[in-house]
């Protein structure tokens, strides 16, 4: 049996690529030095990949910023506002990051992952300006003397992720509506397809033997018409290509149009994800697999950091072999490996040994695929299994039991919203159009330095705590001065809203070097949920209580919700995701009750990643939303009716999920409204939303101080639509990335807006 892998991380074992590119941006190193360093990173990763004894070694899977942007610049899909930049590298980075004159291209999430790509802005008129796959192929051949398989995003997926604009001469572009886009979709796809065809012709000329097109968009909800467009496009792409094996890889989900795609797509092989769930195997059993194609079987996870269970995989492969001849199977990872950190090695001595025994990152995946090949081709004995024994070490029976009960229970608050909201407002003694903020205040250099010093052990816990208290005190004084109605403590003790809680909860681990690319040069270290979750002691009560003592105004308790904590972490696969959410929810609930006991009257439970966990396929979304809502409700269903529960989500696409947002039954939800100029409220109007809404009138993503009139306009739109007694006024997200100099005047204006509203309505 043959093997391949794809998507090995690009960032370097110690984030060398990030460092090189950022130094270049800062002008600390020259372009040549940066490119030299980048090449070294690529050489290192290629060496490791080659070492895995693969039959198809990938190339062209390295990128200085983003692999979607690489396609845009390859086919000259460069928005007008960047076209005057003559240097191609400068233009490339300008599209990603913007310049003084030209705002950056939009960036958005890549499928249901935490990778972000640069959204193509298409107007048509594509041409092949740089055959990157050809260059990468040549480079690998010269450097290592080997044949490689260039990998790039397929034309269909590229189009599916693009925004379509009217072609215009000036820099002003008109974004087209969805309906118009669907009309343009086909012609634009065919245009891109013919550029891809030209690229393949040049590769064929060169003697390239195989090419991989990544087409994860094939797992989305596609109707037959879209699939036949896809097939027609591939006819254009592969026209006259007789000597190259063309592989189309799908991943992150199963193929719903399995039969049509596998039979009719005019390519040499199809990659299927057998790890994400059992559906592709079911499809294979039902429809078989065409004899003229290879099956690239994704059997080793690209998304989860857990060790492969060889026996399980061997059983899976035995099943697959019943439907596809052995010599037509190519074993592979299921999804790109860049979702994983580079290596487990640096974690030895840092993480618990039992946990290390469960982990497998990108380097370990390469090793696994090598061993798998030996097991299957040479009859090597699968390494012994200790995985279950290791997992058992992290079991908490009490938590398991508590979670079991939940499915049988109805989780809701004892009083209806109407009843409790009236009582809450009386008890809080706050005016109409109450003003508040989302939680964090500016994290100044001083704050970050002190936290780092404390982590390094350079200052004592006492020194650190008294520093944090000082910051809280200042923040409270500022809020008094500004005349806000509901205060926050400022979150100075938190670097990150998930990490902070993960570090205090049982069942979470934090790596030392487990960096994963989030976008461009930005990397994150996702927490790893490896065991049952519980809360050994209060996590936030001390700080909130302290803040509350300093003022008569209510101070909000500030927590991160279970769905967000889960969606931003690596999580275990041995129990359902829902159960992990419930476990976290129960831990958060303990904190909520402790805050309530400490006299805190408002508790905000942030869920900015609530929508992010939405499954790719519509038919699976309801199930997710049901348990996600339940997890949120679990955190607070046992509070007194006078305790007010807030939540926060910082985005504006609520249309499809508004019903579930409502069912979360938070007393107040704060949302982003500034960038859409308040239009978002219409989703709430259509639904007749009748709980509290905090309208995010201040765009915190910009350093700009919004004038009173601007914020007032957004707020007034809301007043037209929503019961005025339910409206709160706030910024659209936390202020942690801003400077005090911007925040103070902006909040002052915001408070004026509320005063005007109170007089007028
Ligand atoms: N309470 C958090 C803050 O203010 C919320 C952050 C977020 O929504 N991303 O920083
Ligand atoms: Zn936010």
ipTM (interface pTM): 0.99
Say if ligand 1 is within 6 A of residue 731 CB: no
Length of the chain: 761
- Output the CA 648–ligand 2 centroid distance in Å: 6
Residue 105 annotated in ligand binding = no
> Whole-angstrom Cα distance, residue 393 to residue 376?
31
Is it the case that residue 174 has pLDDT exceeding 90? Answer: no
618 is written with which tokens? 């519509």
Mean pLDDT of 374-393: 88
Q: Which tokens hold the place of 330?
A: 């190519």
Confidence of residue 167 (pLDDT cuts 50, 70, 90): low
- How many helices (H) does the chain have, and how many strands (E)? 27, 22
pLDDT, one tens digit per residue, over 13-63 is 999 999 999 999 999 999 999 999 999 999 999 999 999 999 999 999 999
Residue 419 marked ligand-binding = no
pLDDT at 103: 84
Q: What is the pLDDT of residue 690?
A: 95
Mean pLDDT to the nearest integer, 157-164: 93
pLDDT (mean) for 461-472: 97
- pLDDT, position 126: 96
The predicted pLDDT at position 172 comes to 47
664 Rama sector, left if φ>0, alpha if ψ -120 to 50, beta otherwise: alpha
pLDDT at 171: 45
pLDDT at 240 over 50: yes
- What are all long-range contacts of 38-43, with beta carbons under 8 Å and residues at least 24 apart? 38/62, 38/64, 40/16, 41/10, 41/11, 41/12, 41/16, 41/17, 42/10, 43/143
Token digits of residue 309: 């269970």
pLDDT value for 383? 84
**pLDDT computed for residue 554 by the predictor:** 98
Phi/psi for 174 (5° steps) reads -110, 115
The pLDDT assigned to 170 comes to 46
**Ligand index nearest the alpha carbon of residue 700:** 2
What mean pLDDT is predicted for residues 253-276? 98
Q: Considering every ligand atom, which ligand is closest to the CA of 561? A: 1
Place 403 in a pLDDT band, splitting at 50, 70 and 90: very high
pLDDT band at 446 (very low <50, low <70, confident <90, very high): very high
If pLDDT is split at 50, 70 and 90, which confidence band does 451 have?
very high
Q: How does DSSP classify residue 218?
A: G
Pocket test for ligand 1, best of 479, 609, 648 (most atoms within 8 A of CB): 648
Do 632 and 562 meet the contact criterion of CB atoms below 8 Å apart?
yes
Question: 15 a known binding residue?
Answer: yes
Q: Could you tell me if the CB of 497 is within 6 A of ligand 1? A: yes
Range of weakest confidence among 303-317, 418-432, 595-609, 670-684: 670-684
* Least confidently predicted of 323-332, 537-546, 695-704: 695-704
pLDDT value, residue 164: 85
The predicted-structure confidence for 50-62, as pLDDT tens digits, reads as follows: 999 999 999 999 9
**What's the whole-number mean pLDDT along residues 77-97?**
95
Ligand 1 touching residue 717 (CB < 6 A): no
Supply the pLDDT for residue 101: 87
Q: Which residue has the higher pLDDT, 484 or 677?
A: 484
DSSP assignment of 639-698: S-TTSEEEEEE-----GGGHHHHHHT--SEEEEE-TTTTTTTHHHHHHTT--SEEEEEEE
Give the residues across from 270 on adjacent strands: 248, 295
Residue 625 has pLDDT above 50, yes or no: yes
- Mutate which of 494, 497, 652, 738 for ligand 1? The one with the most ligand atoms within 8 Å of its CB, which is 497
What's the chain's average pLDDT? 95
Give the pLDDT score at 308: 96
Query: Is residue 58 lining ligand 1, measured as CB closer than 6 Å?
Result: no
Check if 438 has its Cβ closer than 6 Å to any atom of ligand 1.
yes
Cβ of residue 733 lying under 6 Å from some atom of ligand 1 = yes
For the cut 90, the answer to whether the pLDDT of residue 513 exceeds it is yes
Q: What does the pLDDT average to over 139-160? A: 98
Q: How far, in Å, is the centroid of ligand 1 from the Cα of 496?
A: 9
Q: Rounded mean pLDDT of 383-407?
A: 89
CA 67–ligand 2 middle distance (angstroms): 27
Ligand nearest to the CA of 651: 2
Condensed to tens digits (0 to 9), the pLDDT of residues 184-214 reads 899 999 999 999 999 999 999 999 999 999 9
DSSP state of 570: B
pLDDT for res 679? 77
The pLDDT tens digits of the residues spanning 543-594 come to 999 999 999 999 999 999 999 999 999 999 999 999 999 999 999 999 999 9
Q: Which residues contact 209 (CB under 8 A, 6 or more apart)?
A: 147, 149, 243, 244, 245
Question: In the predicted model, is pLDDT for residue 719 greater than 50?
Answer: yes
Decide if 701 is catalytic.
Answer: yes
Q: Over pLDDT 70: what percentage of the chain?
A: 98
pLDDT at 143 over 60: yes
- With 0-12 / 13-18 / 19 or more C-beta atoms within 10 angstroms meaning exposed / middle / buried, residue 507 is buried
pLDDT at 681 over 90: no
Protein residue whose Cα sits closest to atom 6 of ligand 1: 734
- Both tokens of residue 111? 């499928």
Tell me: the pLDDT tens digits for 209-224?
A: 999 999 999 999 999 9
pLDDT computed for residue 677 by the predictor:
76
Asked if residue 109 belongs to a known ligand binding site, the reply is yes
* Residue 606 marked in a binding site: yes
Q: Is 19 in the pocket of ligand 1 (CB under 6 A)?
A: no
């Amino acid at each position: 049996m043959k093997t391949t892998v794809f998507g090995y991380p690009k960032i370097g074992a110690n984030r060398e690529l990030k460092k090189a590119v950022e130094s270049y941006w800062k002008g600390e190193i020259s372009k040549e030095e940066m490119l030299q360093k980048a090449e070294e990173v690529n050489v290192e990763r290629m060496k490791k990949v080659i070492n895995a004894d693969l039959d198809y070694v990938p190339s062209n899977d390295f990128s200085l910023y983003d692999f979607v942007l690489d396609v845009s610049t390859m086919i000259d899909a460069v928005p007008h506002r960047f076209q005057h930049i003559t240097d191609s590298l400068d233009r490339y980075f300008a599209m990603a990051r913007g310049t003084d004159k030209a705002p950056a291209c939009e960036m958005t999430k890549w499928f249901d992952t935490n990778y972000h790509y640069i959204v193509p802005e298409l107007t048509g008129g594509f041409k092949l300006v740089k055959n990157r796959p050809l260059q990468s192929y040549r480079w690998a051949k010269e450097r290592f003397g080997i044949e490689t398989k260039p990998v790039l995003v397929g034309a269909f997926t590229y189009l599916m992720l693009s925004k379509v604009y009217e072609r215009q001469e000036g820099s002003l572009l008109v974004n087209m509506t969805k309906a118009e886009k669907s009309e343009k979709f086909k012609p634009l796809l065919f245009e891109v397809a013919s550029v891809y065809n030209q690229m393949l012709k040049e590769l064929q000329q060169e003697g390239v033997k195989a090419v991989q097109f990544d087409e994860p968009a094939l797992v989305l909800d596609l109707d037959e018409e879209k699939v036949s467009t896809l097939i027609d496009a591939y006819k254009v792409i592969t026209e006259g290509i007789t000597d190259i094996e063309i592989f189309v890889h799908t991943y992150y989900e199963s193929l719903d149009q399995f039969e049509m795609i596998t039979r009719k797509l005019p390519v040499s092989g199809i990659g299927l994800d057998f790890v994400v769930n059992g559906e592709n195997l079911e499809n294979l059993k039902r429809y078989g697999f065409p004899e003229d194609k290879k099956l690239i079987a994704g059997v080793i996870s690209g998304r989860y950091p857990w060790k492969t269970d060889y026996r399980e995989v061997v059983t899976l492969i035995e099943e697959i072999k019943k439907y596809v001849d052995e010599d037509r199977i190519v074993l592979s990872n299921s999804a790109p490996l860049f979702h994983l950190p580079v290596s487990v090695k640096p974690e030895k001595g840092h993480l618990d040994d039992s946990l290390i025994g469960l982990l497998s990152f990108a380097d370990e995946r390469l090793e696994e695929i090598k061993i798998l090949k030996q097991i299957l081709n040479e009859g090597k004995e699968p390494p012994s299994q200790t995985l279950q024994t290791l997992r058992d070490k992290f079991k908490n029976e009490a938590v398991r039991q508590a979670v079991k009960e939940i499915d049988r229970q109805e989780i809701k608050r004892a009083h209806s919203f109407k009843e409790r909201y009236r009582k809450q407002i009386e008890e809080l003694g706050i005016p109409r159009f109450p003003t508040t903020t989302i939680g964090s205040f500016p994290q100044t250099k001083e704050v970050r330095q002190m936290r780092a010093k404390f982590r390094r052990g350079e200052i004592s816990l006492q020194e650190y705590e008294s520093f944090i208290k000082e910051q809280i005190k200042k923040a409270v004084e500022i809020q008094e001065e500004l005349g806000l109605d509901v205060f926050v403590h400022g979150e100075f003790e938190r670097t990150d809203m998930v990490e902070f809680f993960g570090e205090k909860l049982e069942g979470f681990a934090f790596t030392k070097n487990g960096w994963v690319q989030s976008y461009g040069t930005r990397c994150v270290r996702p927490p790893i949920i490896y065991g049952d979750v519980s809360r050994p002691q209060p996590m936030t009560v001390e700080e909130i209580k302290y803040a509350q003592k300093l003022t008569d105004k209510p101070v909000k308790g500030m927590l991160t919700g279970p769905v967000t904590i889960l969606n931003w972490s690596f999580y275990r696969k041995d129990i359902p995701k829902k159960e992990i959410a419930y476990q976290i929810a129960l831990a958060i609930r303990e904190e909520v009750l402790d805050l309530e006991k400490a006299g805190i009257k408002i508790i905000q439970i942030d869920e900015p990643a609530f929508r992010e966990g939405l499954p790719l396929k519509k038919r699976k979304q309801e199930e997710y939303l049901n348990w996600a809502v339940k997890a949120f409700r679990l955190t607070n269903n046992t509070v007194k009716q006078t305790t007010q529960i807030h939540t926060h989500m910082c985005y504006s696409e609520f249309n499809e999920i508004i019903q579930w947002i409502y069912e979360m039954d938070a007393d107040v939800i704060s949302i982003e409204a500034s960038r859409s100029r308040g239009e978002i409220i219409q989703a709430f109007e259509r639904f007749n939303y009748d709980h509290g809404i905090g309208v995010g009138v201040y765009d915190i993503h910009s350093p700009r101080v919004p004038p009173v009139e601007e914020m007032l306009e957004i707020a007034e739109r809301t007043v037209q639509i929503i019961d005025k007694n339910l409206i709160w006024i706030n910024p659209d997200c936390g202020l942690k990335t801003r400077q005090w100099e911007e925040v103070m005047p902006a909040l002052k204006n915001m408070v004026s807006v509320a005063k005007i509203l109170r007089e007028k309505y």
